[in-house]
Amino acid sequence: MYNKKLTAALAVAILGSGSAAAIAADKPGADWITLEQAVEKAKAAGYTELHGIEADDDGWEGEGMKQDGKKYEFSIDGKTGEVTRDKQE
């Protein structure tokens, strides 16, 4: 079994954020998209840095920076992978 925190940190590194910290707090549901897929969904939504991503209730939640240099919060549905919240802080 792989370490979720290490996997999250590696996933954030893929986005090019050397100073970002990512954690997986709660356990994702058995039928959820993987952490790696959630990171890819965030990347597709325009995130260039992730400052955190974790499993919470019914999906993945996190925050990060987009290409415009502004900080945003996001939620990704754990089952469908749909970005359900994408709000500037």
Spatial contact of 45 and 38, defined as CB atoms under 8 Å apart: no
- Number of structural domains found in the chain: 1
Put simply, whether the predicted model's pTM sits higher than 0.75 gets the answer: no
The model's pLDDT over 55-84, given as tens digits with 9 standing for 90+, comes to 998 999 999 999 999 999 999 999 999 999
For 13-62, how does the pLDDT look when each residue is reduced to its tens digit (9 = 90+)?
545 544 444 444 588 999 999 999 999 999 999 999 999 999 998 999 99
Sheet holding 71-77, edge to edge: 47-56, 59-66, 71-77, 83-88
How is residue 23 written in tokens?
């954690």
Q: Which residues form the domain of 57?
A: 4-88
